[in-house]
Structure 1
Amino acid sequence: MKARLAASAVLALGLAIGATGCSMVTYQATTEHYDASDGVSVDVGDLDLRNVLVVSDDGTDGNLVMTVVNTGDRDQTLKITPEGADVVELEVPAHETVVLGSEDAEPVLLEGIDAEVGGLTPIFFQYASEEGIEKRIPVLDSRLYEGLAP
């Protein structure tokens, strides 16, 4: 009787581990951060840049679309340097969010970027003495972003 009870307990435990144990050793894709939008994310010190993309119909001039969140205690001047184009400076107040390039926000024109529409263009982001980062930013046309191309 005891042997049957012990065998039943071992079998139940084996079934429970077999049915649920795979999550203990299997890679969990839901723990990975990803950008669920067309744009990309960039973190530069206290500045979090979200959904960064360029809207351009000709690949020469583009509208920079992004949201910048300053999580720090100081106002910052973000320098945006597209490859082959002039530097754009953006004031980002402390603990504030700045939205750029959308229908309701001020456009940020990047002139002379020479980018392929549908491709990626390198843009360098930096402020103050913080180490900057260059990121390849998607260049999309106005078919998806109607009215946002320059």
Structure 2
Amino acid sequence: MITRSRAARAAATVVLAASIAVGTTGCVFITPTATLNYYDPSDGVGATVGDVRVLNMVGIINEDGHAISLVTAIHNNGRITNVTIQVDSDGEKQTITQPVRSGETVEFGSTPDAEQIVVLNPDVAAGGLLPVYVQQGDAEGKLLLVPVLEATGEYSELAPPAVLR
């Protein structure tokens, strides 16, 4: 009789432990894992176009709102290629084509002395989204909706000059 009560207690303990384990971790089996969702951990947006990665593209608008500087980095994981960036500037399509070698990262507007892509009279205010089309070689391009920010904080020196119109 003593062996039965020990066996009963052991079985009850196992059942209780199993029910606690399933009760506290069961939602893991039906809830999607958030770390599998892609997001951009910064102010800008990014995309992969063919073999090229567009990293943290953000628009910095000048004080009078007449010009935006695109700040971004483009990294090529494939062979040498051309990357084309197209945006509406002053009512017309502006196209910039940049060769990018294999393994190279090209930056635009990331420092006050860096080459800038300037969009004139963009019809977008600070806080808005600027449509920018990016294409690599023959790969299908992507339309990015780039956030436009005021030139404050870390971006204070990256805006285009106020004299541009």
In the superposition, the TM-score normalised over structure 1's length comes to 0.89
Q: Which moved more, 1:138-147 or 1:44-53?
A: 138-147
Q: How far apart are 1:22 and its partner, in Å?
A: 2.3
2:78 to 55, 69, 72: 72
2:34 is matched with which residue?
Answer: 29
Q: How far apart are 1:21 and its partner, in Å?
A: 2.5
Q: In the alignment, does 2:22 pair up with 1:17?
A: yes
1:92 is matched with which residue?
Answer: 100
SS in 2 for 1:129: coil
Structure of greater Rg: 2
SS in 2 for 1:27: coil
Aligned partner of 1:118: which letter?
G
- Alpha-carbon contact 2:51-2:136 (below 8 Å) kept: no
Q: How far apart are 1:135 and its partner, in Å?
A: 1.3
What does 1:96-115 align with in structure 2 at a 5 Å threshold? 96-103=104-111, 105-115=114-124
Q: CA RMSD in A?
A: 1.7
The CA distance in 2 between the partners of 1:60 and 1:92, in whole Å, is 30
1:119 is matched with which residue?
Answer: 128
1:135 is matched with which residue?
Answer: 144
The CA distance in 2 between the partners of 1:113 and 1:90, in whole Å, is 22
1:46 is matched with which residue?
Answer: 51
Aligned length: 149
The CA distance in 2 between the partners of 1:148 and 1:64, in whole Å, is 9
Could you list the per-position Cα deviations for residues 51-98 of structure 1 after superposition, in whole angstroms to 9, with x for gaps in the alignment?
A: 00111124432111011110002x112111112441112221111111
The CA distance in 1 between the partners of 2:40 and 2:17, in whole Å, is 42
Could you list the per-position Cα deviations for residues 7-48 of structure 1 after superposition, in whole angstroms to 9, with x for gaps in the alignment?
A: 221111111222222222223223212111110012110110
Q: Which runs of 5+ in 1 are unaligned?
A: none
In the superposition, the TM-score normalised over structure 2's length comes to 0.81
